[in-house]
Amino acid sequence: MSPTLLALLMAAISLVGLALVALGLPGLWLIVAAVVAFGAITGFKGIGLATVIIVVALAAIAEVIEAWLGFGMARRYGGSKRAGWGALLGGLVGAIVGVPVPVIGSVIGAFVGAFAGAVLFEYSRSDAGTAVRAGWGALVGRVAATAAKMSVGVVMAVVALFAALRG
């Protein structure tokens, strides 16, 4: 297979990875795997060690940003660490429950789940007003984290594609 076709395949896999990020799944790591596979198949001629390191570093930074936003926004809006954990678990459950409705169901489910999880976990230790504020913060954090991860994923894909086509 020619390097150009492999680069197009890598770009297609990157688009799938971006869709997975929107669903709350580890799509950035799918992009990393595609970049490493492309490099291995082509003998690391277009995509070399520097590109792989950049892509892995960007994915790791995006994960840190997601955790910081998810926990941080729930706490900024008055929630405890419990609200942060509730947002994380609720977001995952919501994404899974939303699966029967293609694409949009998982995205909305993850957002609603983050809100509900933060509210439930926070309400178990404080009043309803604080719990709802923490839930709102978790929802805002989840939306911001998804947008940030999608943006980083686009940068990762563009960096890899330019490296692959240049080589």
Local confidence pLDDT in tens for the 167 residues of the chain: 788 899 999 999 999 999 888 877 789 999 999 999 999 999 998 899 999 999 999 999 999 998 788 778 888 888 888 888 888 888 888 888 887 777 677 788 888 998 999 999 999 888 999 999 999 998 998 889 889 999 999 999 999 999 999 87
Count of the separate structural domains present in the chain: 1
From residue 116, alpha-carbon distances to 93, 102, 132, 164 in Å are 10, 21, 9, 43
Q: Give phi and psi for 157, each to the nearest 5.
A: -65, -40
The residue to which tokens 């594609």 are assigned:
161
DSSP structure class, residue 98: T
pTM higher than 0.85:
no
CA–CA separation, 126 vs 119, rounded Å? Answer: 10
Largest CA distance in the chain: 62
Q: Which domain holds residue 7?
A: 3-166
